[in-house]
Amino acid sequence: MKDKNTAIGCFFVIGVILLFVNPLIGGVIIAISFIIAMLSNKDQNISSTGDSLDQLDVEVSTEIKSSGGLVWDDYPDVSKYRVNPSGLRYDDTYFTGTGYKLRELLLLIWWGRTKKPRQPSSQPPRYFYYDYHLNTEETTGRFIREGYLTRDDKNRVVLTEQGKELYSEFEILWELHSYKGFLGELPNLDQSFEDWDYKTYKANNNLLEIRHLQEIIKFNTNMQKQYPRGSNEYNAFQQDIERDKRQIEFLLSEHEQLIDN
C-alpha cells in the first residue's frame, strides 16, 4: 500500500510540473491522480472494515423474549371464543321450501318491515352486497315478478298478501341479522335460523366471552410480572385485569337472567 501511495504522489508531482509547460496536460494528470487516490482510500476502508468484522465474534439473536417465555402472539385469539368463529353471515345450507335462500328472504323483510312503505328509489344497505353477496336489484325484481312485492296507489313498494305470508314466516330473520354480540359476534343465518332464540344465543355468547376474558387475565398477569410492582407498566396491567374481572361479573349476572327468563 505504501508503494502505491508513493506512485500516486509522483504522478501528482509530474502533473504540477507539466502545468508550467502544458497546462491542459498537467491539469488532466493532477485530476487523474486525485481520482486514483480516492479509489485507493475507499478500497482500504472496505478492507479495514472487513478485517475488523472478521476479528469480532458477534452473536445475533432475533428471539423476542418476555415474561414467562410469552410473546405477543400468545394473546388469546378471539376467534376461538365465538359461537360463529368463521364470521360468515350465510352458507345457503338451509332449505326454505320457498325457492328463495334465507339471505334473499332477508331482503324481502327489509322491504316490508317499515311502517311507511319504501319508495321504488330506496336503496338497500350495502351489507346486502358485502355480507350477503346479493344482487339486490335482481332479487327485488324477482319478488315483484313472482307476486311478493308490488306498488300501491302512491307508487310505494309494498308487500302483497302472498308477500305478507312469507314475511310473517321469516320475520325472525331480522332479529337474527341484527344481533351484535361479543366483539362483533355475528350469527350465520343458515346455521342459526331453525333453532334461533335470542336469549339462548346471547347466553352462550356470554359464556364464551367469559372464557376469553379469563384467558386474557392469565396473559396480562404473566406480562405484568416482568415489571416492578408499582411501576406505570405494572399498574396499567393491573387496571386492565381488574376491568376484565368486573366485566366477567356483569356477564355472569346477565347470563343468569337470560337463562332464568
Which of 194, 224, 249 delimits the end of a domain? 194
- 159 and 216 together in one domain: no
Residue from 186, 205, 192 nearest 254 by CA: 205
- 240 and 168 together in one domain: no
- 111 and 160 together in one domain: yes
Q: Does the pLDDT of residue 49 top 50, yes or no?
A: no
pLDDT in tens, 115-129: 999 999 999 999 999
* Prediction pTM value: 0.68
The answer as to whether 152 is a domain residue is yes
Distance CA 29, CA 189 (A): 85
- 98 and 187 together in one domain: yes
The answer as to whether 135 is a domain residue is yes
Q: What is the pLDDT of residue 48?
A: 44
- Weakest mean pLDDT among 58-62, 85-89, 164-168: 58-62
- 214 and 182 together in one domain: no
The answer as to whether 70 is a domain residue is no
Q: How confident is the model at residue 64 (pLDDT cuts 50, 70, 90)?
A: very low
Q: What is the pLDDT of residue 46?
A: 42
Q: Does the pLDDT of residue 175 top 80, yes or no?
A: yes
Q: CA-CA distances (angstroms) from residue 220 to 53, 72, 77, 167, 230? A: 42, 10, 14, 48, 15
The answer as to whether 153 is a domain residue is yes
Q: How confident is the model at residue 77 (pLDDT cuts 50, 70, 90)?
A: confident
H helices of the chain, in order, are 2-21, 23-55, 102-112, 127-130, 136-145, 161-170, 173-178, 189-192, 198-224, 232-260
Q: Which residue has the higher pLDDT, 251 or 14?
A: 251
Q: How confident is the model at residue 184 (pLDDT cuts 50, 70, 90)?
A: confident
The answer as to whether 73 is a domain residue is no
Q: How confident is the model at residue 10 (pLDDT cuts 50, 70, 90)?
A: low
The answer as to whether 69 is a domain residue is no
- 157 and 247 together in one domain: no
Asked if residue 33 lies in contact with residue 12, where contact means CB atoms within 8 angstroms, the answer is yes
Asked if residue 178 lies in contact with residue 125, where contact means CB atoms within 8 angstroms, the answer is no
- Weakest mean pLDDT among 19-33, 221-235, 242-256: 19-33
Q: How confident is the model at residue 94 (pLDDT cuts 50, 70, 90)?
A: very high
- 149 and 208 together in one domain: no
- Weakest mean pLDDT among 2-6, 51-55, 243-247: 51-55
Burial (CB count <10 Å: 0-12, 13-18, 19+), residue 50 = exposed
Q: Does the pLDDT of residue 205 top 70, yes or no?
A: yes
Q: How confident is the model at residue 52 (pLDDT cuts 50, 70, 90)?
A: very low
Distance CA 172, CA 161 (A): 19
- 208 and 261 together in one domain: yes
- 42 and 125 together in one domain: no
The answer as to whether 34 is a domain residue is yes
Give residue 249's domain range: 197-261
**In one letter, which amino acid is 203?**
A
Phi, psi of 151 (to 5 degrees): -115, 140
- Weakest mean pLDDT among 38-42, 112-116, 143-147: 38-42
- 170 and 104 together in one domain: yes
The answer as to whether 58 is a domain residue is no
- 188 and 153 together in one domain: yes
Q: What is the pLDDT of residue 181?
A: 82
Asked if residue 176 lies in contact with residue 189, where contact means CB atoms within 8 angstroms, the answer is yes
**How many domains are contained in the chain?**
3
- 126 and 175 together in one domain: yes
pLDDT in tens, 153-171: 999 999 999 999 999 999 9
